[in-house]
Structure 1
Amino acid sequence: MFHNSGKLLFFLGKADRLRITVWLFSLTVITIAVPLAFGNLYPTQAERDVMAQTLSNPALTAMVGPVNFETYTIGTMTAHEMVLLTALVVGLMNILFVNRHTRVEEEEGLLELVRSLPTGKGANMMAVFLHILFINLLLVLLISVGLGVLGIESMGWNGSMLYGMVLGGSGIFFAGITAISAQLADNARTSFGIAFAVLMIAYLVRAVGDVSAETLSWFSPLHLSSQAEVYGANHWWTILPLFGVGILLFAVAGYMASLRDLDAGLLRSRAGKTTASSFLGTPTGLALRLQRTGIISWGIAMLLLGASYGSILGDLETFFEGNEILQQMLAGESSASFTEQFLSLLIVVIALIATIPALMSMLKLYKEEKSHRVDLLYAHPLSRFQFFASHLSIAAVQGLVMFLLAFAGLWMAGVAVMTEPFSFLTIVGAGMAYYPALLVMVGVTVLLIGFFPEKSGWVWAYLLYAFIVLYFGGLFEFPEWMEYLSPFGYVPELPNEDMTWLPLILLSMVALVMVTIGFRGYKRRDLQG
């Protein structure tokens, strides 16, 4: 049943060594840096108590959870503001890893190759489970030791270990969810969509429950991260459901895998039409049809994301007064109001998130090539330019649509909660200023696909760098030149700053040059296999 699962585990570790390093290094560095920053910004207990009071705002409670601590120390402040959001990221990390080594590899024919060797039918699932368990336990070790050795008085080893275990347990839980979705769906897109939807629903259910009905919060596994009260009461029992249910889900997934055929899913796909439409017969129509579910899902997500951020645009002036950490994350020296400064921060965060589906759409070009499905298309009278242009146009238009949906949601929610709301053109115009930066990111992706296709995934690291520098730059006092290593750093922060068109024109030209050079490389190189 599990014959040679050990060898498969070794191969998984070797294939993921770089991804594991990047993920764990990023999570550990950010986690350790936050309490150090808090210690400098809030050296006295009185300042921390003021911070605790401001975070009792319903909007912030929905984002990071309720304040359940009697004494708001550096440790409890770190746990309250970081554990939930970090658990969300860890959940996403595990979803990507499990989906990659189950449904993606099965879709690409790799699992069929493994099955042709002397391996048990359950060997791959066992190897994936052990692989995920190793990654999360390594994360637990790095986080726990990293926080413990800081030597901060309120951050003892007991709380530091629980901090890491909560993150590891959250990862195992959502890894188990993904293992189940990989058995239900018959393709990688649907499998990822199901698992990601569960993650987002868990966050939204917890947010609504924490604000209005605590009973509802218990239906979300993410609620356990705040109930753990890390560096406070330290409730260790909260990790048992996370690890226990996660392991149980993997066991159920293994049983489900034994019931289905290779390349099939337990949920049948709907039968398609007997004849294709004329539009579906074009490269753009086919690419759009394959990405339809993802585009719709991301569109709904971006609308909800914009609306959720817009819902906190109420009486922010009072909220920001005396809140030094949030003031430092903003422009600081600007004469604009705190609401305008905070709005500019929200807009850049939304722009960065809205860039993700556009990059995914562009990377689909290489994914189709790597899986050999593009060979069937090139067997017909189809030029590389037509295939390339279909994915590029979808990526560009999709990015534009995501921007419009997100910022429209931001404006609509802002109108509902603000006495003097911003105009539609102010918010959407400020957001659309980042569209040339999105095109540059698409251009970087095209360059990688054209010349270094195996390294095209590195664009995600570049986007993560942009997020860290732009979001945490003010908090950690990063030098200004680090912002300019990202295309988003050149965009004027509207409505906090005056509009300047030159950077946007230059970014658009750079994007055009990158796409042109990248296409030439794609046109001249051999197809990848």
Structure 2
Amino acid sequence: MSTATRAAPARTGTGAGQEGPGGGALTGTGVLLRFALRRDRVRLPVWLAAVLLVTFSSLQQATDLAPDDPAEAADTAATLGGPAMLAMTGPEHYLADPTPAAVLSMLTLGYAAVLVGLMSVLTVVRHTRADEETGIAELLRSGVVGRHATLTAALATAAAADAVLGLLLAVLLPSVGLGGATVGGALLYGAALTTVGLVFAGVAAVAVQLSSHGRTASGMALAAVGAAYALRAAGDVGPDALAWCSPIGWIQRGYPFADNRWWPLLPALALAAGTAAAGYLLSTRRDVGAGLLPPRTGRATASAALTHPLGLALRLHRGLCAGFGAALLVLGAMYGSLLGGVEDMLADLDEVRAALTEAGGTLVESFASTVLLIVAVVASLFVVLVALRPRAEETAGRAEPLLATGLSRSRWLASHLVAALGGGTLVLLLGSLSMAVTGAAATHDGDLGVRLLGAGLAYAPALWVTGGAAALVYGWAPRAAPLAWAVPAYGFAVGYLGKLLGLPDVLGDLSPFGHVPQLPAAELRWTPLVLLTLVAAALVAAGLAGFRRRDLDPK
């Protein structure tokens, strides 16, 4: 007697964006959210600490800029109300009643909004498009996971970080004893940053649907952050309508600790909801791992340069190099144009003047040496990004086929390090050149322009040490590769904020940027530059040695 057996229906996965049996579009969101928070348990607190540092490091400066004497307050308003300061800070209306809290909001809200935007963008891209590139998303969707669960979990992670930041500021600001820091103003200040974070999380949700590469998606979303800040700056100096085209301009016109207007947050919330909804809609019109924008068709045959590891590395990093080069050209031009008005801008800020001129030189030279550090730190971000690219190639499984050929490990990794160190020097040169040209024009001093160019290039050995540190961590402990970001972050904290906060000089000695002579204010000393170069060479050699001795770590 034969028996007929009916096979049980196979469970359908969600690799193509379909829901599992009985599941909805959001099935599995809670699990993915907990997984994302677990992965970012260190990254997000560091971001939150950075935003809090930007705000609270300016408390004393805000107090000094808002004296009780009406005559001194008028001088402060005249100083902060100049076009250069308005472009760097916020709208002039804050100065109508310049309490310390209102001045703090004017000084820090725009910068904090940029940091929150960066945090939200990178968080959403990390848990969506980056996971699709590495295959994690496809693996997750093979289970019972709804088509919108991944994007929802990423947005919820960013929103949770934004909300925690807003609550921390709302609680801490009224408790520091800052004049005019009311509870209502603190709530608005925190809500403004939470709202702008949601806006850029939504922008990132759209960007990850357009491009099939995480780096491109991040670039598009971060360009939106930069455009929002630029529109805000243009509107504060020129036509006010330009600032109303920017979500950063909207939240600043809530005037926390001044007018305490909540309604400017409404268009920002509407934009956040609209961009998030657009991200969900666009996600249904593409396959997992693909982007809506078609990839550019390449040449039928590869160029001769791509047959060599260095040529391939340069090809992989040329887009990033172009983006950083353009950004530093703009940044250098902006800072250089301010040099002609430094004396007036800092006329009544005695403590800031004293901190800047501590290394010697004129006030203009000291200010230039300080902002050149910012240019160098931004260039070092490029160095770290490129130096850690081999980690992404390794975990994505693209390095193993290359190394299975006659290509040695040392040559492969060295090609990326050459691109990192050489490209970093190039973008540093572009930023320094831009600042030198505009600075010479603003001060009518051609000799200053030449010295500014040399002062910028003096930071090249510090960039090389940064790249060497990234190579060392990647070579010996690849899972700890994110620690390489501590070098530029620490260098900025002690080099730029340390002057204003009066931090001990010994802290600056722990940063490679702290050993660079503060040109053009100080005298050129070759010894620290040579030692930094030797340290960089030793770190690179140690990183190469470590990479040769360990196993690959594909995911």
| Match of residue 118 from structure 1 | 144
Matches within 5 A, 1:52-451: 52-69=77-94, 70-332=96-358, 334=360, 336-451=361-476
Aligned residue identity for 1:108: T
Find the partner of 1:478 among 503, 511, 514.
503
| Match of residue 28 from structure 1 | 52
Once the two structures are TM-superposed, the CA of residue 421 in structure 1 deviates from its matched residue by: 4.1
Once the two structures are TM-superposed, the CA of residue 382 in structure 1 deviates from its matched residue by: 0.8
Once the two structures are TM-superposed, the CA of residue 313 in structure 1 deviates from its matched residue by: 1.1
Aligned partners of 1:216 and 1:135: how far apart in 2? 29
| Match of residue 542 from structure 2 | 517
Aligned partners of 2:484 and 2:119: how far apart in 1? 16
| Match of residue 11 from structure 1 | 35
Aligned residue identity for 1:202: A
Q: Could you say what secondary structure the match of 1:276 adopts?
A: coil
Q: Computing the radius of gyration over CA atoms, which structure comes out larger, 1 or 2?
A: 2
Once the two structures are TM-superposed, the CA of residue 377 in structure 1 deviates from its matched residue by: 1.0
Find the partner of 2:517 among 492, 499, 515.
492
Once the two structures are TM-superposed, the CA of residue 390 in structure 1 deviates from its matched residue by: 0.6
Please, what TM-score do these two structures have when normalized by structure 2? Answer: 0.92
Aligned partners of 1:179 and 1:326: how far apart in 2? 41
Moved more, 392-401 or 236-245: 236-245
- What are the Cα deviations for residues 387-421 of structure 1, in whole angstroms up to 9, with x where unaligned? 01110111111011111100110012123322334
Aligned partners of 1:229 and 1:438: how far apart in 2? 39
Once the two structures are TM-superposed, the CA of residue 316 in structure 1 deviates from its matched residue by: 2.2
Aligned residue identity for 2:336: G
Aligned residue identity for 2:139: L
Percent identity between matched residues is 35
Aligned partners of 1:418 and 1:158: how far apart in 2? 44
Once the two structures are TM-superposed, the CA of residue 440 in structure 1 deviates from its matched residue by: 0.7
Contact 2:28–2:145 under 8 Å retained in 1: yes
Q: Could you say what secondary structure the match of 1:274 adopts?
A: coil
Aligned partners of 1:30 and 1:316: how far apart in 2? 22
Contact 1:206–1:216 under 8 Å retained in 2: yes
CA RMSD between the two structures = 1.5
Q: Which runs of 5+ in 1 are unaligned?
A: none
Contact 2:247–2:268 under 8 Å retained in 1: yes
Contact 2:65–2:76 under 8 Å retained in 1: no
| Match of residue 456 from structure 1 | 481
Aligned partners of 1:448 and 1:134: how far apart in 2? 30
- What are the Cα deviations for residues 100-151 of structure 1, in whole angstroms up to 9, with x where unaligned? 1111001110000010011111111111122111111011011111112213
Contact 2:79–2:344 under 8 Å retained in 1: no
Once the two structures are TM-superposed, the CA of residue 520 in structure 1 deviates from its matched residue by: 0.4
Aligned residue identity for 1:311: S
Contact 1:329–1:472 under 8 Å retained in 2: no
Moved more, 18-27 or 508-517: 18-27
- What are the Cα deviations for residues 174-197 of structure 1, in whole angstroms up to 9, with x where unaligned? 111011000011111211111111
Find the partner of 2:526 among 501, 504, 514.
501
Contact 1:411–1:422 under 8 Å retained in 2: no
Q: Could you say what secondary structure the match of 2:357 adopts?
A: coil
Contact 2:359–2:366 under 8 Å retained in 1: no
- What are the Cα deviations for residues 204-232 of structure 1, in whole angstroms up to 9, with x where unaligned? 22222221221122111111132111100
Q: How many residues align?
A: 528
Aligned partners of 2:331 and 2:65: how far apart in 1? 29
Aligned partners of 1:224 and 1:166: how far apart in 2? 9
Contact 1:320–1:338 under 8 Å retained in 2: no
Once the two structures are TM-superposed, the CA of residue 350 in structure 1 deviates from its matched residue by: 1.0
Aligned partners of 1:8 and 1:120: how far apart in 2? 11
Aligned partners of 1:328 and 1:463: how far apart in 2? 25
Q: Which runs of 5+ in 2 are unaligned?
A: 1-24
- What are the Cα deviations for residues 274-305 of structure 1, in whole angstroms up to 9, with x where unaligned? 21111112111112212221111111111111
